[in-house]
A and B are shown apart, each in its own frame.
Chain A
Amino acid sequence: MTAQLTTGWREKGIRSVWLAAALIAASSVVFILGYLLLTSLPIFFETGIVGFFFNTDWNPTGSTPSFGIAALLIDTLLVTFGAMVFAVPLGLMAAVFLAYLAPPKLRDIVKPAIELLAGIPSVVYGFFGMIVLCSFLQQTLDMPSGFSWLAASILLGIMALPTIVSVSEDALFAVPKDYNEASLGLGATKWQTISRVLVPAAASGISAAVILGMGRAIGETMAVMMVAGNAAVIPSPIWDVLSPVRTLTATLGIELAEVASGSMHYYALFGVAAVLLAITLGVNLISVWITKRIKTGRPLVSMPAAARRILIICGMLIAFTAGIVILGIGPTLLAAAVFAGFFLLRDRVSHKVAERAAFGVIYAGTALVVATLIIILADIFIHGLPAISWEFLTTAPRDLGREGGIFPAIVGTLQLVGGAILLALPVGIGAAVYLNEYSAGTFLTRLLRTGNDLLAGTPSIVFGVFGFAFLVIFLGWGVCLLAGMICLALMILPTIIKTTEEALRSVSPSLREASFGLGATRWQTIKNVVLPSAAPGILTGTILSIGRAAGETAPIMFTAVVFSKRFISPDLFEPVMALPFHLYVLSTSVPGAQTQQYGTAVVLICLVLLIYLGAILLRTHFRKKLI
């Protein structure tokens, strides 16, 4: 009798299925990146690198077309910077409040609520920005129109808030409780403890939060496009926040639909997409670097006290000069006096007064954050709920959406999302299982991980650009359901792979060893031990991707959707309607449809929030089952 110590064909077969999934995932990642970069090459030959980046004139359809993205690049940076000016201090205040000042019960309600708001589709924020924010700015600041850098920055700031609050709160909450006791035990006040020990100890996590928020702001298309005014000019003077601006993403969103395939303009748009990819790469590299620093526990920046002092003095001088240039001498001196007064008083007033003042500011900031988010939801629901009726939900639109309902759009969204999940889920989970369970550090895994990390933060419009150029035009599918499904699937694939890998990694190695030690095969171990423990994590990741896919507009607007379609068909090569796109067209191009706009926004929010709620419930259910 032989010992039978060779692996059976069954194990080998299963292994090759996972390998196939990983290969599909890796090749699609490589293909997208390669396709975008190769297609953008002609524009660089036409204008040269310098001409493309440093020419401020973007006029692709003029009689002598000009393709300089300097203005777009600067506008993108300005809008992002402006958003961070709002979002970082406010987000940090709310995070400090939630982590250290709020009663635990309040924290347990407010934190998930804020996280839920991260799931509201960007087109809904854009709609709110157009209807409420821009008209508010127009009236208060007496502007010809509210569409401006300021509006875009405020809106992006609001959109980045949930991410910043949630991630920095996690970092603050994870600071060892020992530090708190040690500091209080030395006779420091609670505020001194927070400001001098706890927040600095969480600095790495907080910077990661800010970077994530920035990534979200840079990659946003719809919301910015709807409120920024979209003139490809550099604000003049550069601090004129009321000037209209146009970001890189908005340029793609506006011009892709009208461009002639194969023209220089077309290649220039691919150049813009490539630049967006490069920015994403930069942001991702920074966040990887920070995460590494967090893991090794080293401070992000360490410099001697003297250098820090010089840096602070330089910063203050720059701020002072900028203040004089922007605000004039009077207000700047006043601001400087308040600032100096603050620092002089800080050590004079009793620690109790200082603490109360600081906490007062934090309470006010948190209240502002919560109030903003409540106002947005309240405005949409108060105006939108009356529009909801049986007819609205079950009939097709009439009179350009001013009458009738949104039934085809609801069905279209479900079709798109369902198809995307069917495509992305097997490949994503399979690739993650292969990466984590079968291979260790091969070329394929490195390639897939790197490409995946890069695509994970890529602005969603880039997937739209790829789908439009490759599926719609090159393959000649035209605008159709299948193209949209593929674009959405490509967009959520990196997230699914990432969250699945995280879930698999969180399964303790000792469990696997225990199973192997009992003579189980690799597949038996995966099937019976690893996957059941990782299931809640995988499910949550999947459901969050579904929510994201349901709310996205940018990847489908050029690939799958039309504004009006009376009949519902399951044909993959027919275009469909979709809720986010319907809301976008209703709010930008159909005057007099306000009720329907609000109604569509409500349905879209409810759909996405229901999906998220499902994720939360499912997670709790599985957690209970595991324990």
Chain B
Amino acid sequence: MTPILSTRNLNLSYGSKQVLYDIDLPFEEKSVTALIGPSGCGKSTLLRCMNRMNDLIADCKVTGEILYRGEEIMNSDPVLLRRKIGMVFQRPNPFPKSIYDNIAYGPRAHGTKDAKTLDNIVENSLKGAVLWDEVKDRLHESALGLSGGQQQRLCIARTLAVNPDVILMDEPCSALDPIATTKIENLIMDLKTKYTVIIVTHNMQQAARISDTTGFMYLGKLIETGTTGTIFSNPKEELTERYITGRFG
């Protein structure tokens, strides 16, 4: 099966500082891939390459290939690309608008105007992010009144509303308490029936619990990749083993 997204020989530098070295990594469709590694290893940077969020950083230079369904993304229109490859950020970042307007933001930006259609999208997205029952009676209240965990699920729902193909998640639980984290983890496992999920996490147990494939990165290099079971029970590289057994990181 051809991967939905893959990188080949991907190198990235900020100014004169190289951050990623020769990353070759395929991502399978409708599965969860986790990127793990100590802080500063480049996993978030790699994630942000996939929908060209690194374009926002002035002196960032990328070489190599990133193919999305066979098409080189560096030649694409970043705006259209991001409609296909959505992103959920580390800290919940709802807009200072109502819950409804947060979800409807993406579809509206892409030209959906019809109120009925928007209502449907909002309801389905919130259901998809398992938030509907908690907020259905206060859709027009400010999203900033939600709890941290609810806000993050709102951000996931907001991404679902654009109907993406791939969802990138950059440590989505790092600002949340354990109960909210469990809810998000369950949600991610539901999402993979419909979407391809790539998640960056510093929490190894989380990666082991929810992902199908795991990639371990260290100092800007992809050290090892394989099914999550293999990586955690029988890693090939000594570095990987030392990291997952907690001897450094």
User: Which A residues lie at the B interface, using CB under 8 A?
Assistant: 176, 178-189, 192, 196-197, 200-201, 297-299, 304, 347, 351-352
Contact = CB atoms under 8 A, between A and B. Distances in A.
Contacts of A304: 140
Contact of A187 (B82, B97, B142): B82
B96 A187 contact: no
A590 to B, nearest CB: 55
B93 A182 contact: yes
A178 B106 contact: no
Interface in B82-116: 82-84, 86-87, 89, 91, 93-97, 105-106, 108-111, 113
Question: What 4 A-B pairs come out closest when comparing CB atoms?
Answer: A187-B83, A178-B93, A185-B87, A187-B82
Contact of A185 (B51, B80, B94, B144): B51
Contact of A176 (B93, B111, B158): B93
Contacts of A184: 53, 56, 78, 82
Contacts of A196: 105, 108-109
B89 A186 contact: no
24 contacts: A178-B91, A179-B93, A180-B56, A185-B51, A185-B86, A185-B89, A186-B106, A186-B109, A187-B79, A187-B81, A187-B82, A187-B86, A187-B110, A187-B162, A192-B109, A196-B108, A201-B95, A297-B96, A297-B144, A299-B96, A299-B142, A304-B140, A347-B113, A352-B77
Given A181-B53, A186-B162, A297-B144, A347 B93 contact: no
A352 B79 CA distance: 9
B201 interface: no
A228 B95 CA distance: 45
Contact of A186 (B77, B86, B113, B144): B86
B96 A201 contact: yes
B202 to A, nearest CB: 19
Nearest to B87: A185
Contacts of B82: 184-187
B34 interface: no
A299 B101 CA distance: 14
A197 B81 CA distance: 20
Given A181-B87, A187-B109, A351-B79, 9 more contacts: A181-B53, A184-B56, A186-B159, A186-B162, A187-B80, A187-B81, A196-B105, A299-B142, A304-B140
Contacts of B144: 297
Contacts, number: 79
A347 B111 contact: yes
A176 B93 CA distance: 9
Contacts of B105: 183, 186, 188, 196-197
Nearest to A178: B93
Contacts of B77: 352
Contacts of A187: 79-84, 86, 106, 109-110, 162
B155 interface: yes
Contacts of A181: 53, 56, 87, 89, 93
Contacts of A186: 82-83, 86, 105-106, 109, 158-159, 162
A229 B113 CA distance: 50
A182 B56 CA distance: 12
Contacts of B89: 178, 181-182, 185
A325 B90 CA distance: 56
A42 B77 CA distance: 72
Nearest to A176: B93
A159 B108 CA distance: 38
Nearest to B109: A188
Contacts of B155: 182
A200 B79 contact: no
A197 B140 CA distance: 17
A185 B96 contact: no
Contacts of B84: 187
Chain A residues touching B, majority SS = helix
Nearest to B80: A187
Contacts of A188: 79, 105-106, 109
Interface of B: 51, 53, 56, 77-84, 86-87, 89, 91, 93-97, 105-106, 108-111, 113, 140, 142, 144, 155, 158-159, 162
A609 B32 CA distance: 62
Contacts of A197: 95, 105
A113 to B, nearest CB: 23
Most chain B C-beta atoms within 10 Å of own C-beta, residue among A184, A196, A201, A297:
A184
A166 B78 CA distance: 32
A181 B88 CA distance: 10
Nearest to A175: B96
A299 B142 CA distance: 9
Query: Could you say which of B77, B95, B105, B106 has the most chain A C-beta atoms within 10 Å of its C-beta?
Result: B95
Contacts of B93: 176, 178-179, 181-182
B109 to A, nearest CB: 4
A556 to B, nearest CB: 46
Most buried by A among B80, B110, B144: B110
Nearest to B82: A187
Nearest to A179: B95
A211 B83 CA distance: 39
Nearest to A297: B144
Contacts of B109: 183, 186-189, 192, 196
Contacts of B78: 184
Nearest to B164: A187
A304 B101 CA distance: 12
A333 B166 CA distance: 48
Contacts of B86: 185-187
Nearest to A184: B82
B178 to A, nearest CB: 24
A351 B155 CA distance: 24
A297 B94 CA distance: 13
Contacts of B108: 196
Contacts of A352: 77
A196 B111 CA distance: 13
B68 to A, nearest CB: 14
Contacts of B111: 347
A619 B79 CA distance: 42
Contacts of A297: 96, 144
B195 to A, nearest CB: 15
A347 B108 CA distance: 10
A192 B108 CA distance: 10
Contacts of A180: 56
B54 to A, nearest CB: 11
Nearest to B91: A178
Nearest to A298: B142
Nearest to B94: A182
A352 B80 CA distance: 11
B107 to A, nearest CB: 9
Best-buried of A182, A187, A297 by chain B (most CB within 10 Å): A187
A185 B97 contact: no
A540 to B, nearest CB: 31
